[in-house]
Structure 1
Amino acid sequence: MKKVLITGIDSFSGTHLSSYLQNAGYDVYGTSLFLSGDKKYQCDITKKSDLLIVLKNVKPDFIIHLSGISFAAFDTSEEFYRVNTIGTANILDSLLELGLNPAKVILASSATVYGNQGLEVLDESLCPQPTNHYGASKYAMECLAKNYFEKLNIIIVRPFNYTGINQQEHFLIPKIIKHFKQMKQTIELGNIDVSREFNDVSYVCEIYKKLLESSVASEVVNIASNRGIKLLDVIEMMQEMSGYKIEVKVNPAFVREGEIKSLTGSTKKLFKLIGEVEQKEFKETLREMLEA
């Protein structure tokens, strides 16, 4: 069995991905900032000493680096760079120091690095223009990681929005689900006419798996579907499934000036590298979350 090390294994993405890869026959190990247990190591990626212990013990065939601060409204700006940027460099430096060269090292960046491009479909040829510390820390990570391309088999991925069971409630879709589960009378949202990607976490997991098993290296690639879904349509699907209507109040504080009506990621490069990947209808994703 091939050994996969997932950093941030107890995160939303990490829990889904670890189960997905285990079911596919991989021997899955992980790191967590707070917990340790069976094949799970307590590890602070900002401390190189922690990483050296984990990597020396596991000697992974593959690494998927998910650990980091993913909530853009996190309070402390410096932490984005300490964790997302320096933490990633620590992992790459530790591999080189130990003389380890996994078959694949996948680093999770974010579509947030693109910033405001004024385009409806974003592809990897665009020059990133991050507009917040989260996006800037991920782009800084990408720039540093490219210096390791000749030494390690690295893929940098830029996931667009995805969701599923157990995602934290400060994210948009779980927030909507929670309101319907509690049968709230009203919900405050931003511009409900905009169209965005809301992919299913299982779709994302399958893409990670295909990238692991591919011969691809030294690439930056979107994890996207080019499938735009309007917030208004999400509300209508939820109303149909739950059997009751909720009043949507547009909160001006949630509306971004000059917001692009439709914004999705190009799949052209992704599907060229790994082949086309199908995903379930978004209504099925919502139903699973509502019934969980």
Structure 2
Amino acid sequence: MKTSVNRRVLVTGADGFIGSHLAELLVQRGYQVRALVQYNSFNSWGWLDSSPLAKEMEVIAGDVRDPFLCDNICADIDVVFHLAALIAIPYSYQAPNSYVETNVNGTLNMCQAALKQGVKRFIQTSTSEIYGTARYVPIDEQHPSQPQSPYSASKIAADAMALSYFNAFQLPVTIARPFNTYGPRQSARAVIPSIIIQIAAGRERIELGDVSPTRDFNYVADTCAGFIALAEAGHQVVGETINIASNDEISVADTLALIKQLMRSPVEFITDEQRLRPASSEVFRLWGDNQKLRSLSDWQPQHSLAQGLQQTIDWFSQPQHLARYKADQYNV
């Protein structure tokens, strides 16, 4: 089922980091894009405000917590890319109910709307956080789920809700499970932007949490290409959970060292206690197996970690971008 370029797609969470990149890439590939951004009184479209491609999208402000809104935005849509979610792990410790309302109930609303409107493919966005600390590596899709934070618990529930609509109602669901995506526009709460921003702001010592965990980092363009590959793949991906991963791992400490090298910085690292997760909540190892996605599509990562980091550094180092972040504050 290779898609035609005139298919209508919906991207929820299009105002966010990955969502804005995905919406732009879809436009560039000839899709008709409806973009859902979160309603706010400032009439802000998030990252789409600064996108030259936003004028080629149908942008709608709303909230996936509203089932009526979800029903309306799914009308006349072929493919739904459901990315709208609360994702900050530290904030999930403080406001867990909001994660259930948005991530679980929001997914329920979107699935019900997609079913009613006859959507042909529903791409549910998962996260590698649902795996918790690896019991074996590389982590394939059969790895057990481990709810080590309220955030990961809400995403486990959201994935289960989406798959229940496949099993019970034949909604053509595919679970896309990206590992640690990074790149331009990412929130400063994430480790790579946090390092880059502090160095670019001229800090002599940067504050981080535990630097021993490993992560499977994916440049945002590769993650977005993975989403589109799943939408364009045949029926064999329906009802399946599929990792989007680099099939590699690197510790946060080694990532810091690589960024320091690329930015030619002698910055020192100190531990910031408030950035440490509770001991049983920290995910100490992530390394994703991408064999399933590669076997079901022509996708493969196009950016090495060094290449992706350099492009990310170049973007964050531009004064107009750096000014949008608060280098002197910890972002929960």
TM-score (norm 1): 0.91
1:129 aligns with 2:150: no
The CA distance in 1 between the partners of 2:301 and 2:126, in whole Å, is: 22
1:152 aligns with 2:171: yes
The CA distance in 1 between the partners of 2:15 and 2:191, in whole Å, is: 20
The corresponding residue for 1:268 is 291
Query: Cα RMSD over matched residues?
Result: 2.1
The CA distance in 2 between the partners of 1:27 and 1:70, in whole Å, is: 27
Matches within 5 A, 1:115-264: 115-150=132-167, 151-215=170-234, 216-251=237-272, 254=276, 257=279, 262-264=285-287
Aligned length: 288
Indicate which of 85, 93, 102 corresponds to 2:119: 102
The corresponding residue for 2:18 is 13
In structure 1, give the amino acid aligned to 2:163: K
C-alpha displacement at 1:275, in angstroms?
3.6
Mapped contact 2:137–2:287 kept (Cα < 8 A): yes
Structure 2: which 5+ residue stretches go unaligned?
Answer: 1-5, 46-54, 316-332
Q: 1:6 to 1:266 in 2, by over 3 A?
A: same
C-alpha displacement at 1:64, in angstroms?
0.2
Mapped contact 1:6–1:63 kept (Cα < 8 A): yes
In structure 2, give the amino acid aligned to 1:233: D
The corresponding residue for 2:73 is 54
SS in 1 for 2:35: strand
C-alpha displacement at 1:148, in angstroms?
1.4
Mapped contact 2:9–2:31 kept (Cα < 8 A): yes
Mapped contact 1:7–1:64 kept (Cα < 8 A): yes
TM-score (norm 2): 0.81
SS in 2 for 1:187: strand
CA-to-partner distance for each residue in 1:140-195, whole Å, 9 max, x for gaps? 11222222115211101221111000111111100001011112111122343443
SS in 1 for 2:89: coil
Indicate which of 266, 286, 292 corresponds to 2:309: 286
In structure 2, give the amino acid aligned to 1:197: D
Mapped contact 1:9–1:32 kept (Cα < 8 A): yes
SS in 1 for 2:287: strand
The CA distance in 2 between the partners of 1:117 and 1:153, in whole Å, is: 29
Mapped contact 1:117–1:129 kept (Cα < 8 A): no
The CA distance in 1 between the partners of 2:23 and 2:60, in whole Å, is: 14
The CA distance in 1 between the partners of 2:158 and 2:302, in whole Å, is: 29
The CA distance in 1 between the partners of 2:137 and 2:205, in whole Å, is: 30
C-alpha displacement at 1:76, in angstroms?
1.3
The corresponding residue for 1:71 is 88
Q: 1:234 to 1:129 in 2, by over 3 A?
A: closer
The CA distance in 2 between the partners of 1:45 and 1:155, in whole Å, is: 19
Mapped contact 2:129–2:283 kept (Cα < 8 A): no
Q: 1:278 to 1:109 in 2, by over 3 A?
A: closer
Identity %, equivalent residues? 27
The CA distance in 2 between the partners of 1:257 and 1:108, in whole Å, is: 27
Mapped contact 1:180–1:238 kept (Cα < 8 A): no
The CA distance in 2 between the partners of 1:261 and 1:93, in whole Å, is: 36
